[in-house]
Amino acid sequence: MEEARDLDRLDSLKRFREEFYIQPEMIYMDGNSLGLMSRRAERTLLEIMDSWKAHGINGWTGGERPWFYLPEQLSAKMAPFVGAKPEEVMVTGSTTSNLHQILATFFRPDGKRTKILADELNFPSDIYAIKSQLELRGLDPVEHLVSVNSRDGHLIEEEDIIGAMSEEIAMAILPSVLYRSGQVLDMPALTEAAHRHGILIGYDLCHSVGAMEHSLHDWGADFAFWCTYKFLNGGPGSTGGLFIHERHFGTAPGLAGWFGSDKEKQFDMEHTMTPAPHAGAYQVGTPNIFSMAPLAGSLELFEEAGLSALREKSLRLTRFMMELVDQELDGHGFKMANPREDGRRGGHVYLEHEEAARICSALKAEGVIPDFRAPKGIRLAPVALYNSFEEVCQTILTLKKIMDEKAYMKFENQRGVVA
């Protein structure tokens, strides 16, 4: 524990912990599912609510944060998080609706190229969207969804993905970070290989945005999409984001809606759409302003902390946690299934255990909030903005106590409705 306290004393980011609502007697290790609320996110949400109260409909163009321009303002702030030009990013929709937009716009089966490449460890919602878009085009997902297999059930080898790239693949949709194991895929290498094979490629950044740096524009990725309620701390169901490389500007949105219009033309109410000349064209309906508002405050914290510093601390936190797992939990039946190498590890540690569901229940009873992933996964995410090294130490010592005392035995080994 003293080592943890020493690390906390040397932590240059420790002041940001005070920006968040940290509940007493609780250690929150689930920031890769839902980030904690910050005081600034609360402030900007309340500001937008006050704007509605004070201005009514005039809030669209009046007040301190006119709602009509809020998506573009937030997008410009978001762009550095993914290594993009401001005009290539749009805060809009949700992870899945943005993937649907990308597929509807850019998946154009032609000749032999009628298949979409993904991986068998991808998040289910992405696969649902891909299958539904194939079916809408009269294509059988069994034949036209090419799923790259994992060799061990936890990791995907980039050479296997590249090996599946053929002249039949029109598009590849891959995660930046695998949601279970936390593996970081080599996006620059995958992008280069896809383009060499004439394939469009895009990434689900849900488990990397806000936790690590990206260079989507320079890598040449065609598109990407993400949520903002995990590491970005935008709140439950907060508005998602998408990236469209500038070389694709002018491609008509597959799912057209009035908020994708050129803002100077939008209220002309013409039945012929004039799309925005940038990523804004891929918006659909009127934005949910209350779901965007917390991001205005949350993104301020990231600008002040710096992504490089956050990534460096995140790696130190997870490295420290892995060391403690090795020291304290040996012989208790845990398997560490995340990559140990810094360059291949995202923002969480992934443990597997046959009693994982009841172990997670026991942790919660002790005030430690983990994340269970069926059938036997435990994700622990120490977040650089608000978690401490002492909390990491307390988490693993609590886990050791639970295992030593077999305290997990009093819980059922099954997940709750939400896990």
The answer to whether 95 is annotated as binding is yes
Q: Is residue 170 located within the same domain as residue 202? A: yes
The answer to whether 191 is annotated as binding is no
Q: What is the pLDDT of residues 110-139, one digit of tens each?
A: 999 999 999 999 999 999 999 999 999 999
CATH classification of the domain holding 335: 3.90.1150.10
Q: Is residue 173 located within the same domain as residue 269? A: yes
Q: Which among 303, 321, 346 is the end of a domain?
A: 303
CA distance 326 to 336: 9
The answer to whether 286 is annotated as binding is yes
Give the pTM. 0.96
Q: Are strands 200-204 and 169-175 parallel, antiparallel or unpaired?
A: parallel
Smallest Cα–Cα separation from 382: which of 4, 3, 2?
A: 4
The answer to whether 160 is annotated as binding is no
The answer to whether 61 is annotated as binding is no
Q: Is residue 96 located within the same domain as residue 204? A: yes
Q: Which among 303, 319, 341 is the end of a domain?
A: 303
CA distance 53 to 171: 46
CATH classification of the domain holding 138: 3.40.640.10
Give the list of residues 6+ apart from residue 304 with CB closer than 8 angstroms, or none: 16
Q: What is the pLDDT of residues 172-222, one digit of tens each?
A: 999 999 999 999 999 999 999 999 999 999 999 999 999 999 999 999 999
Q: Is residue 187 located within the same domain as residue 280? A: yes
Q: Is residue 79 located within the same domain as residue 18? A: no
Q: Which among 274, 303, 332 is the end of a domain?
A: 303
Does residue 281 belong to any structural domain of this protein?
A: yes
Total domains in the chain come to: 2
The answer to whether 411 is annotated as binding is no
CB of 117 closer than 8 Å to CB of 173:
yes
Which residue range(s) make up the domain with 269? 45-303
The answer to whether 204 is annotated as binding is yes
Res. 102 pLDDT band, cuts 50 70 90: very high
CA distance 90 to 78: 8
Task: State the pLDDT at residue 412.
Answer: 85
